[in-house]
Amino acid sequence: MVFFYLMVLGTGIWASFKSKRESKKSSADQVEMTLLGNRGINPVVSMFTMTATWIGGGFFITLAEAAYNPSLGVQEVILMVIANITGFIVCGTLFTKPMRDRRFVTMLDPFHIKYGKGVACLFTILSLISDLIWVPATFISLGAVMSVILDISYTVSIWISAAVAITYTLLGGLYSVAYTDVIQLILMFFSAVVAVCSFCVDEPCSV
């Protein structure tokens, strides 16, 4: 766990230097460089960070609980995964190119242009409320894992996770977030495979 956090933090710091180099090469303003990576993030890295944004620790914990819940089960888990994939495909196909062509900065820019400040403000508040729920859920899942593995205080685990995430985000903006997401998603995938294989060794699977 210590190695994992150091690796993520180190990657975030390296990405911050990359962000500064790219900023010197281009004429992009600070907002575009920080929030959008100057619209120049590698497509593969983009897919990783988009996936990691929506499929994190909270998503995995929810799937695991749903799979073992008698009223839900594996079928509902599969439906949840298919729903996420479908959402990615539809949004990517219909909205990505028009939004990039018009150089929008946030997802709310089209609503601001079409319906004005009132609607944009309402959606901003709703988005903020959802983030206030989603971000703590992410930190709680990180803290829970860290607390169980290292046998340290749950609260301390959450504070450490938050400090690491905030540090590399402030240092490099989207570049840091994107490249650390690649590492986290790869580790998450292999960890899930190891967990399933370990379970199947202890409890022979019927699937």
In a domain, 207, yes or no: no
In a domain, 33, yes or no: yes
> Per-residue pLDDT tens for 38-47?
777 778 888 8
In a domain, 100, yes or no: yes
In a domain, 61, yes or no: yes
> Per-residue pLDDT tens for 4-58?
778 878 887 887 787 777 767 766 666 666 677 677 777 888 888 878 777 766 6
Q: What is the pLDDT of residue 63?
A: 76
Among residues 115, 126, 117, 135, the alpha carbon closest in space to that of 57 is found at 135
Q: How many domains does the structure of the chain reveal?
A: 1
State the burial class of residue 183 (Cβ atoms within 10 Å of its Cβ: 0-12, 13-18, 19+).
middle
In a domain, 38, yes or no: yes
Q: What is the pLDDT of residue 207?
A: 47
* CA-angle at 153, arms to 151 and 154, nearest 5°: 100
> Per-residue pLDDT tens for 75-125?
778 888 888 888 888 888 888 888 888 888 888 888 888 888 888 899 989
In a domain, 153, yes or no: yes
Provide the residue range defining the domain that includes 66: 2-197
φ and ψ at 118, to 5 degrees? -60, -50
In a domain, 205, yes or no: no
Please provide the size of the chain in residues: 207
CA dihedral sign, ordered 43, 47, 53, 57: negative
Statement: the pTM of the whole predicted model exceeds 0.85: no
CB-based contact 174:37 (threshold 8 Å): yes
In a domain, 206, yes or no: no
Among residues 7, 4, 32, 16, the alpha carbon closest in space to that of 100 is found at 32
